[in-house]
């Protein structure tokens, strides 16, 4: 990992620049994204475009033959769980190219995001500033003023140090540091009254059996059951090893999703836990990374004396 440098988000000369592109309509979208990509190609910089399928087609079509020089990713799949985007998409792309400057167009927020997903998207956008700080790169995150409500547009200003609209660039005076914003938006409501609950202590076999039975009742597809059990096992094992050994697991359904939550008395102080690859020589630090890769959505509410890890699986 690169050496951490003093964090000055509004510095226009900082190695890593993170912009929100505020746009309205297809023409505005293309006029913001396409020159950004072409400038990178002219400079010989690697480019990743990770956006929803419709906008992926727009950019690819506008680039014409130049599109073959760009890496594309469908954000609705790669970023289905926002906690997966930094380690599996952004950081992976930056690391692949070593010390070379890079450019990324990333669009994790769109009108179809659910109320459960959106806080995780907001945390993701904020944590990009920590995860990629010190890298030689520029990231552009489009926000559709025509389909997103005003609160979403304001949140873009809270998570991006710099803003672009209609060709004009300026610093965001609503910007909030990740250490302030992320804990404030992470709060989770208690599990619903009808949630099944198991209190466990010292071992996790009972947790796996409890979750297996509830998942079968809820109708979780067989090919997803193993992913659920691995994820729950990782979180519950962390409880046993690092949080005094005791915790509670809850399982319930919410719409077309199975929800499983592990609560304990521990605290995860690292904002980037589960979002950066573990060091090769370190046997720890892989559990939450694996959980993010396996689940359709992960939300973590952690504070001194209490951590709740909520995992979602589509039914």
Q: Does the pLDDT of residue 4 top 50, yes or no?
A: no
Tens digit of each residue's pLDDT (9 = 90 or more) over 217-250: 999 999 899 999 999 999 999 888 877 788 999 9
**How much of the chain exceeds pLDDT 70, in percent?**
94
Kindly state the average pLDDT of the residues 49-53: 97
Is 90 exceeded by the pLDDT of residue 43? yes
Find tokens 């400079």 and name the residue.
Answer: 43
* Whether residue 5 has pLDDT greater than 90: no
Contacts of 114 (CB under 8 A, 6+ apart): none
> pLDDT of 198-216, one tens digit each?
999 877 899 999 999 999 9
How high does pLDDT run on average in the chain? 92
Please give the model's pTM, rounded to 2 decimal places: 0.92
Which residue in 136, 107, 109 sits closest to 2, CA to CA?
136
pLDDT of residue 117: 96
Comparing CA positions, the residue from 238, 263, 266, 257 lying closest to residue 295 is 257
pLDDT tens for each residue of 80-106: 999 999 999 999 999 999 999 999 999
The number of helix segments (H) and strand segments (E) in the chain equals 11, 12
Nearest to 2 by CA among 86, 91, 90, 126: 91
Question: What is the per-residue pLDDT across 121-130, written as a single tens digit (0 to 9) for each?
Answer: 999 999 999 9
Could you tell me the domains of the chain?
16-185 (3.40.50.300), 196-314 (3.30.565.10)
Identify the pLDDT of residue 14. Answer: 75
Number of Cβ atoms within 10 Å of the Cβ of 209: 12
pLDDT at 265 over 50: yes
Instruction: Single out the residue of 78, 77, 178, 196 nearest to residue 128, CA to CA.
Output: 178
Give the CA distances from residue 141 to residues 72, 129, 227, in Å, rounded to whole numbers and listed in that order: 15, 12, 31
């Amino acid at each position: 990992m690169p050496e951490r440098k003093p964090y000055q988000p509004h510095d226009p000369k900082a190695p890593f620049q993170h912009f929100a592109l505020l746009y309205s309509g297809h023409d505005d979208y293309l006029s913001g994204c396409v020159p950004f990509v072409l400038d990178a190609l002219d400079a010989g910089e690697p480019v990743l475009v990770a956006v929803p399928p419709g906008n992926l087609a727009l950019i690819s079509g506008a680039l014409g033959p130049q599109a073959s020089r760009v890496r594309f990713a469908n954000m609705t799949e790669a970023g289905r769980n926002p906690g997966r985007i930094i380690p599996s998409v952004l950081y992976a792309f930056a690391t692949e190219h070593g010390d070379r400057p890079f450019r990324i167009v990333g669009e994790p927020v769109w009108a179809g995001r659910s109320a459960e997903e959106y806080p995780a998207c907001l945390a993701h956008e904020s944590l990009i500033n920590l995860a990629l700080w010190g890298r030689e790169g520029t990231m552009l995150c489009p926000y559709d003023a025509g389909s997103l409500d005003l609160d979403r547009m304001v949140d873009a200003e809270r998570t991006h140090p710099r803003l672009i609209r209609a060709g004009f660039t300026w610093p965001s005076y609503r910007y909030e540091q990740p250490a302030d914003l992320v804990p404030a938006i992470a709060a989770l409501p208690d599990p619903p009254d009808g949630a099944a609950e198991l209190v466990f202590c010292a071992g996790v076999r009972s947790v796996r059996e409890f979750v297996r039975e509830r998942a079968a009742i809820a109708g979780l597809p067989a090919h997803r059951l193993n992913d659920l059990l691995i994820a729950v096992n990782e979180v519950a094992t962390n409880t046993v090893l690092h949080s005094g050994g005791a915790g509670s697991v809850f399982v319930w359904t919410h719409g077309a999703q199975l929800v499983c939550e592990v609560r304990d008395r521990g605290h995860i102080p690292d904002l980037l836990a589960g979002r950066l690859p573990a060091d090769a020589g370190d046997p720890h630090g892989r559990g939450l990374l694996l959980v993010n890769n396996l689940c359709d959505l992960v939300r973590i509410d952690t504070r001194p004396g209490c951590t709740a890890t909520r995992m979602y699986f589509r039914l």
